A and B are shown apart, each in its own frame.
Chain A
Amino acid sequence: MTPVGAIVAKELRSYFVSPIVYVVGAVFLLIFGVLSYLAVVNAGAQAVRLMQIQGAAAQLNLNDLVFRPTFYSIAIILLLILPLLTMRLFAEERKLRTFELLMTSPIGINEMVVGKFLGAYAIFLGLLGLSGIVPVILSFYSSFDWNPVLTGYLGLALLGALFLATGVLASALTENQIVAAFLSFGLLILVWLLGGVGSVLGDTPLGNILSYLSFIEHYDRFVRGLVDTKDLVYYSSGMLLMLFLAHRVVESQRWK
């Protein structure tokens, strides 16, 4: 087994021993369920209203009425819960002095950062997979277009990767887990708000750059069912940048 594999296995083990995964998982799935339920009830109410107006069974688009609002809300929920998954990754190692073991083992910092990221990412993908039960159940009772749902999930998977990579960076910066969690909230919300600042500035060069940097616009296209190379590049380069910065931070700690 490669060192990366060893770290991923150890991280998974640590996650499942600690209550964090269970709490984060339960809260995520509960919120996902409640949000979808509310969206479905809302869609039902609209259907009744349309029937009263048109007098016939209305053709409702579930993709627009159920999935799109749910995906938007879930993005915000991820922003709030994913930092809790990543906060311990490096902070705990430093606090408990196990960092010295990692740093004196014959593995590179790359392998450390990637291993820890993949461990957290595996947990996140597992949760995302479990949430897939909602569209599966809905597909029994209604018909909708699966493609925008799948691209929406792809968008969530990419968004989550960026959030987790940011969390890895925040965790590398401090040995206090709460500070690490808050730092990643702060960073993520800041980048999120850049989009708002960008639209205030309008069609100016700075406005365009800021709008491009915000992850919400890129995510929006996935939710609408569009897979654009530009957005794939945005997420993967953002994730790599965060992991690279985390690598530099971990490396720099040797020099302090």
Chain B
Amino acid sequence: MIDAQNITKRYGDHTAIERVTFKADKGEVLAFLGPNGAGKTTTMRILTCFMPATEGQARVAGYDCFEQPLEVKRRIGYLPETPPVYQELTVAEYLTFTGRLKGMGRADLPRAMDRTIERLSLGDVRHRLIANLSRGYKQRVGLAQALLHDPPVLILDEPTVGLDPKQIIEIRELIKSLAGSHTVILSTHILLEATAVCQRVVIISGGRIAAVDTPERLSARLRQSEKISVTVKAPPSDLADRFRSLPGVLSVFEPTDSGAFLLECELGRDLRDDVARLIVTQGWGLLELKAVSMTLEDVFLRLTQHEEGMPDTGAVEAGSGQEASTA
């Protein structure tokens, strides 16, 4: 359904994206994951024919984005980063306008409007001016515009930004319900979102694709070791070496002097028991001990920081934070 081959976009000397290649099949939900400025929006703008690629070829629903932009635009619903709403129109007027732009006639427009308003629970604000709506409502009006003509391809640039947690869940459910019948590409920098709604994740960093896979396989692929986080109250100066001498420990990482350690152990071995015994029998005071699982967040940070080996403190904190929130 969507086929991008080596698309490159340069602004003068600056290269926004370089040789981005990926495919999305019919009915698939694909997430673009990457830090701000990675090239997610640029890629989407090329797919929606907002701007042409400097090199490479992008095809949507069998039509070339450069050669047949009108055919592509007819089959795409696009929600840009900033919801493209006119403040001076009411929700109903706005949807009527966008429906007509997309070539909908008097016959099918009213029904499509009712359906979309229902779907995004915009009924209460149907006749209110968009200028007076909250950020979350504006975002949903923008989304309504993209869904209105029921296009086979949806391209959503950060669709859940500005929504409250309940609305975020609703929108995710909506996107999940579109899977199968629609091809959806969404961009996000929230990892949970990518894992919650998408079948495949494209990690973009610095304008290049760092990885394309399912969320589960991505984290499995990068998990080469078990990790244990330990905090000791009164660590002796040679504690790191003592940990290292334990059988199965590959490396020890001491981010700060506060007595917190990160132990990297052989895959498939749980050394928590041994570590605890060592600390307790020596009387150093065990404050905290837990296994750190490699979350998609760690994968993401690793891939986007081009780092091999030990994750930095940021990754550790992010990993434990993730664990705390899911526990």
Contact = CB atoms under 8 A, between A and B. Distances in A.
B89 A101 contact: no
Contacts of B93: 13
B195 to A, nearest CB: 28
Interface string B75-88: 01010111011111
A73 interface: no
A6 B104 CA distance: 11
B89 A106 contact: no
For chain B, what secondary structure do more than half of its interface residues adopt (helix, strand, loop), or is it mixed? loop
Interface in A59-108: 96-108
B50 A254 contact: yes
A97 B82 contact: yes
Nearest to A111: B101
Contacts of B105: 1
A17 interface: yes
Interface string A97-132: 111111111111000000000000000000000000
Contacts of B86: 10, 14, 96, 98
B22 interface: no
B80 A101 contact: yes
Contacts of B145: 101
Contact of A105 (B51, B81, B102): B102
Contact-residue bracket for chain B: 20 to 34
A104 B50 contact: yes
A105 B98 contact: yes
B43 to A, nearest CB: 14
A3 B84 contact: no
A254 B88 contact: no
Interface in B29-51: 45, 48-51
A10 B97 contact: yes
A249 interface: no
Interface of B: 11, 45, 48-52, 70, 73-74, 76, 78, 80-82, 84-89, 93, 97-98, 100-103, 105-106, 145
Top 8 A-B residue pairs of the complex, sorted by shortest distance between their CB atoms:
A6-B100, A101-B84, A17-B88, A106-B73, A105-B101, A97-B82, A106-B74, A98-B84
Given A98-B86, A101-B84, A101-B145, 12 more contacts: A1-B106, A6-B97, A6-B100, A17-B89, A100-B78, A104-B76, A105-B101, A105-B102, A106-B101, A106-B103, A254-B50, A255-B51
28 contacts: A1-B106, A3-B100, A6-B97, A6-B100, A7-B101, A10-B86, A14-B88, A17-B88, A18-B88, A96-B82, A97-B80, A97-B84, A98-B84, A100-B45, A100-B80, A100-B82, A101-B78, A101-B80, A101-B98, A101-B101, A103-B50, A104-B76, A105-B102, A106-B74, A106-B101, A107-B101, A254-B52, A255-B51
